[in-house]
Amino acid sequence: MRFLVFYGSYRRDRLGIRLANYCVAGLAGRGHDAELIDAQAVGLPMLDRRLREYPEGEAPANMAELGAKIRAADGFLFVTGEYNWGPQPGLKNLTDHYLEEWFWRPAAIASYSIGRIAGARSNLTWHGTLSEMGMVVVSSTITVGQIQSALDEEAEPIGEGGAALARAFPRFAADFEWWAEAGKAQRALKAPPY
């Protein structure tokens, strides 16, 4: 399976990149092609026009390249921190540049924070947003509180939080894989309804 792992913090101290890298490595360790899509590295401007609103061949190269990757993926994993009860603006801005590219594939959500809430409110908010954008959001989720004490700089689990993450990830990944496999099989049998 081909999975894209999206991360959207633009902050100087990006602790959540540890969780994004952990998810990429975890999916790769299960035999999948997993790629990190870092919103800051992609560098899309604040939303003015979606990819589909550009005439053929006129979209910015980075936007068109990412659009092709999204269309080719079997599923999407979104790693989101929590800023004032909501997801990071960089991640939201990146996703808003696309619409039909997301359709009929599953999305999984992993959230984090430096506090004990673990990004749970952002995780919940993100669920509705991704559903509205045409993705099926899997029921399993990952929440990592006190991320600075759960993953080290190399994205290796440490402490009690890291142990909890390592225990939770296999079920989370299996749920995500099931929906990705189901979607891929269905798309091969029948064209999407519109």
Contact 5, 36 (CB under 8 A): yes
CA R_g for the chain: 16
pLDDT more than 70, % of the chain: 100
What's the Cα-to-Cα distance from 142 to each of 96, 138, 171, rounded to whole Å?
23, 11, 10
pLDDT more than 90, % of the chain: 86
Encoding tokens for residue 35? 């790629």
Give the pLDDT confidence score for residue 73 in this predicted structure: 98
Regarding the domain delimited by 2-189, which CATH topology (the fold level of the hierarchy) does it fall under?
Rossmann fold (3.40.50)
pLDDT at 39 over 90: yes
The CA-based angle 184-187-192, given to 5 degrees, is 140
Q: Cα(94)–Cα(91) distance, rounded to whole angstroms? A: 5
Q: Cα(43)–Cα(97) distance, rounded to whole angstroms? A: 12
Contact 4, 28 (CB under 8 A): no
Mean per-residue pLDDT of the chain: 95
Residue with tokens 């004490």: 149
Q: Which of 65-69, 85-89, 113-117 has the highest mean pLDDT?
A: 65-69
pTM of the prediction?
0.96
